Amino acid sequence: MDKPNNKRIWCCVRYYLWLCAAKGQSSETIRGKKAGLKKLFRWCLERRVHFIDEIDLNLMDNYMEYLNCYRKALDGNPLCLAQKRNLLTFVKTFVEKLYAKGLLATNALQHIELPSKGRSLPKALFSEVEIEKILSQPLLFGVLGLRDRAILETFYATGIRRTELMNLDIDDVDLTEGLLRVNRGKGNKDRIVPISQRACEWVTLYLGKLRMNMANIDTGSALFIANHGKRYSANKLSEMVGRYVKLSGLKRAGACHLFRHATATIMLDNGAELRHVQEMLGHASISTTQIYTYVSRSILTKTYQQSHPSALSTSSIFSPHSDE
């Protein structure tokens, strides 16, 4: 794709997204950037801002104010710190790239101050008992439920992301050794993670009894295939998992990532080392994995019981000698 011959914002956005794709960034990453820059583009249109060289620090101050006041259409809630930071980062990197490509004379956003990331904890944490309840739901739906159970078991056993599960091929799972190869993970990094014997048994059942009957010319080597015989899309996976969470009767919503959260917190609860959980989840930085130490309930409770003066105290307000 050639450089745009004008400086209109959306024309330059299309060029920028093409550069991202040419660089090998994932479709999920590009989709997120496109959605974020579209929000900026529409906001600019309302203010009659049409060209990229009009995007400067003063304009971004007004955009930040808009993001602070913005309320999501779905639930009326404001954007969290991480969402606002991401939206501003999309614009910052967009302008940086256009400057590097010679479409801008200066990088007007070089010194932009981004809001703090904060620390967002996983919200819908599910216990082992609740996870098992969710896992039992697909068996109510006959043969196709067998495939769905195999997918849920794979999510739970490995903690992989939904895009990573979508990209799995049949030869990525070693059912004998209990290993799963994750290709093109976040940052295009590959890794090998263990997968439980139970999950392997469900995958074996799915491969032997169902996949061969669902496959068609478009299936290729995909491990898990949707009803049309092709790989799952990210949204379809989320819809499927969300449906089973709802059917389980639990009062909290959740989708594919709930199994990732559960894998991390339950492993830490059961004594796993942080660096091992980091390797399992494919986190580039251990600081990302550390988030789960704040929600690992048994470790926190055990540490509290062994160290806090109030918990160590043997006196009780109900003791007959408590007033003496």
Q: Could you state, in order of their start, the residue ranges of all structural domains in the chain?
A: 9-100, 128-303
> Regarding predicted confidence, which is higher, 196 or 253?
196
Give the pTM: 0.68
Catalytic residue (one of 33, 161, 231, 261): 161
Active site residue 186: yes
pLDDT for the residue 177: 93
Domain 128-303 coded CATH 1.10.443.10: yes
Active site residue 162: no
Catalytic residue (one of 33, 149, 260, 261): 260
d(CA 89, CA 248): 38
Active site residue 260: yes
Other C-beta atoms lying within 10 Å of the C-beta of residue 30? 16
Active site residue 39: no
b/e sequence 102-141, b meaning 16+ C-beta within 10 Å: ebbeeebbeebeeeeeeeeebebbbeeebbebbbebbeee
Matching residue, tokens 């495939």: 147
Is it the case that residue 188 has pLDDT exceeding 80?
Answer: no
Contact predicate 8/51, CB 8 Å:
yes
| 212-244 pLDDT tens trace | 899 898 889 999 999 999 999 989 999 999 999
Active site residue 161: yes
Kindly state the tokens that stand for 289. Answer: 């994995």
Other C-beta atoms lying within 10 Å of the C-beta of residue 142? 8
Active site residue 261: no
Burial, 311: exposed, middle or buried (Cβ in 10 Å; 0-12, 13-18, 19+)? exposed
Catalytic residue (one of 147, 162, 231, 283): 283
Confidence bin at 309 (pLDDT 50/70/90): confident
Of 197, 207, 124, the closest CA to residue 157 belongs to 197
Confidence bin at 80 (pLDDT 50/70/90): confident
Confidence bin at 54 (pLDDT 50/70/90): very high
d(CA 216, CA 80): 43
DSSP 4-43: PSS-BHHHHHHHHHHHHHHTT--HHHHHHHHHHHHHHHHH
Catalytic residue (one of 7, 34, 186, 230): 186
d(CA 68, CA 80): 9
Contact predicate 49/55, CB 8 Å:
yes
